[in-house]
Amino acid sequence: MVAWTRGRVSQAMLFTLASVGAFDHSEAIADGFLGRGKPAKKAEAAPSKDQAPPAAYKQDDVPKLEMTRIPVNPEDAIATVNGQKISRQQLADECVARQGEEILDTLIARSLIDQALRAKKLEVTAVEIDNEIENVAQNVAHVGREAWLRTLAKERNISPTQYARDIIYPALALRKLANNRVQITAEDMRDSFEAQYGEKIRCRLIMVDKLPAAQGIWEELRKNPGGFEKLAQERSMDAGSRSLGGLLAEPISRHAHPRNVSDAAFRQLVDGDTLDKDPSHKPKDGDFTGPIQVAESTWIILKREGIIEGNKNANPKDERIRKNVYDMIYEVKLKEAMTTTFGDLMDSASIDNKLTGHVKLANEKLPDNQLDANVQLMSDPSGAQDQAGAQPKAAQANAPKLPTPAAASADVVNQVESLKRAPVKR
């Protein structure tokens, strides 16, 4: 009876969350459409003595703007072509056929949020919306308010009204609804401190969409560990790093999100086997991980290029540092709580979508349309101890036959061997 997934209707909200706190490349976007770095327009040459000056416009020569009322009745003409009428109903039908599902999903999401605000006697004021637009423009996009709104209109076809109504308002509303869910523990503070001030790994990456492809690349790396860059250029799906031989622009921090990636990277490329005291077995530059599942159809292999030492002078008890750490983890946890809050609203709602024919009953939990953070490192059979939950079904279907790359660390070798011996659970 239910054909939806929670993720389908959540796409509008995911865009909302990303838009308010993300647009990490906003400054680059602003540079493009604001014309920064472009040559200045040449000054117009003054008219010569023999050249007549341009005629001055008279007020009567300028056509006047007249306000036109937009037709509201379905049969009213929204346009006429050679006397033939195009009705408002025809326009509405065409719009529904082209983008009806997407727009309706946005309206459903906004309706759920409105109802939740009223139930908790909360509200989002016009002043709060105005202040948030100003905040995003200055602190995220690093441009003025008007310039930021022009950017959205030109580069993303989002009008100021749409931006306030469909992006800023839902995000502020979800912040208020989710605020009481945020709890920060001592462990959160410690992990956040290590992420900001601890050591980091400079890595190269190869990304593929299937486990067999990742295994095949592992076999090639076993035979030729030095061929990582070439394989990344030829086979990696990651457009951002492919041309650079898989080199990531930013290093990987300990405890960074997604945790299954950073935990696997540090376990295999930095920490190694904590029980092995032989220093020659410790991970080193040039080592690479086994395949790591990032999402349902995304697998990566990471190669260690180097270690960036942490800030040894940073003191976790310093009040300024503690505030920075707290603010960072609070924003991360708030975003997670906002996503969870909206998911709960979707789960508890009764929705009858006449446009698509989909029906969702109240309190009927919808499946997510993507894997969560419980995806595991494929070469680590004990990975379930790090995060609760079983490995994805795709990972259980067949026991991976992973080779032992020559440049793999001792920890990875032991994991591979134990995985080869592990029985297949069916």
Q: Is residue 130 in a domain?
A: yes
Would residue 363 count as lying in a domain?
A: no
Global pTM value: 0.61
Query: Is residue 12 one of the residues assigned to a domain?
Result: yes
Percent of the chain with pLDDT over 70: 70
Cα–Cα distance, 152 to 145 (Å, whole number)? 11
What residues have CB less than 8 Å from 278, skipping those under 6 apart? none
- What is the β-pairing status of strands 358-360 and 351-353? antiparallel
Claim to verify: residue 147 and residue 281 sit in the same structural domain: no
Residues 244 and 291 grouped into a single domain: yes
Spatial contact of 196 and 381, defined as CB atoms under 8 Å apart: no
* Shared-domain flag, residues 138 and 230: no
**Do 135 and 21 lie in a common domain?**
yes
Last residue of a domain, one of 181, 211, 227: 181
Check pLDDT > 50 for residue 398. no
Residue 388, domain member (yes or no): yes
* Domain count across the chain: 2
Q: Where are the beta strands (DSSP E) in 274-336?
A: 292-295, 298-308
Same domain, 145 and 13: yes
212 and 297 fall within a common domain:
yes
pLDDT band, very low/low/confident/very high, at 391 (cuts 50, 70, 90): very low
Alpha carbon separation from 245 to 138, 239, 256, 304, 319 (Å, rounded): 35, 11, 23, 13, 41
The residue from 124, 150, 181 where one domain ends is 181
Find where tokens 């690479």 sit.
Answer: 288
pLDDT value of residue 53? 52
402 domain residue, yes or no? yes
Q: How far is CA 69 from the centre of its chain?
A: 41
CATH of the domain at 270: 3.10.50.40
pLDDT tens figures, 401-414: 343 444 444 454 45
DSSP 247: B
Place of tokens 């990742």: 214
Are residues 263 and 237 part of one domain? Answer: yes
Asked if residue 123 and residue 246 are part of one domain, the reply reads no
Whether 243 and 381 map to the same domain: the answer is yes
Range(s) of the domain holding residue 146: 6-27+87-181
Mean pLDDT of 158-171: 94
Q: Are 128 and 20 in contact (CB under 8 A)?
A: no
- pLDDT confidence of residue 274: 82
pLDDT tens digits, 35-75: 334 444 444 444 455 555 544 444 454 455 555 678 889 99
Q: What pLDDT was estimated at residue 13?
A: 56
Question: How much is the pLDDT for 372?
Answer: 39
Q: What is the pLDDT of residues 307-343, one digit of tens each?
A: 999 999 999 999 999 999 999 899 989 999 999 999 9
Residue 126: inside a domain: yes
Q: How many CB atoms lie within 10 A of CB 78?
A: 15
pLDDT of residue 379: 36
Same domain for 158 and 305, yes or no, is no
- Return the pLDDT at 91: 94
Any domain includes 346: no
The answer, yes or no, to whether residue 388 has pLDDT greater than 70, is: no
Rounded-to-integer distance, Cα 353 and Cα 300, Å: 38
Residue 171 lies in a domain: yes
Point out the domain boundary residue: 122, 146, 181.
181
